[in-house]
Chain A
């Protein structure tokens, strides 16, 4: 049982490039989330989804997009990367509005 799997683990992007952070879960959870974690700060919610085909903005959605075509997958798209998007990104999932289970994170650097 893999839980929540994120790829890649590390990535360096140049300013203006785009990329997709992949997230997949094998627990059949309805709820999925994307958070970012900056040094000395709490995790901030970027986007979330309560089921396939349903997504909504979190606290810090600017510069990101998501889609949820299946229960398992919840990719996060960065368009026109900026240095402010340098962060560690965590994907999480939960069966209901309850405890969430996190992936191992993607460390992104924009230079």
Chain B
């Protein structure tokens, strides 16, 4: 069964204290791994897509990396405005080689950054 596990469930950082969020996945065939940010009362906001092991993507203080079994979201010198829940999701390749497109989500990591 395709599955996504995120850790930790919650993370509290001081402003400027760098850290990483983990996303472990089990999927029959990975088409893509996605990171989203979700603010309270809002819909998930797309951050990154990673397609193959070794790939990295960066955006401001965030960098996402991918291996064959997990992905990391590295946060460098975070600011209070980075506080949010970060969601990881995978998209599987179907048996016919295509994809129905739906995402399998983890439960998220709630990040709090204190000034």
Interface size on A, residues (CB 8 A): 27
B101 on the A face (CB < 8 A): yes
**Interface range on chain B (Cβ under 8 Å from partner):** 20 to 34
Closest Cβ of chain B to A8, distance in Å, is: 14
Q: With the chains together, A45 CA to B45 CA distance in Å?
A: 17
A53 on the B face (CB < 8 A): no
A98 on the B face (CB < 8 A): yes
Interface residues of A (CB under 8 A from B): 4, 31, 33, 35, 40-45, 48, 50, 56, 58, 90, 92, 94, 96-105
Q: List 20 A-B contacts (CB under 8 A).
A: A40-B107, A41-B107, A42-B104, A42-B106, A45-B102, A48-B100, A50-B100, A50-B101, A58-B102, A90-B43, A90-B44, A94-B101, A96-B101, A97-B91, A97-B98, A98-B32, A99-B49, A100-B101, A101-B46, A105-B43
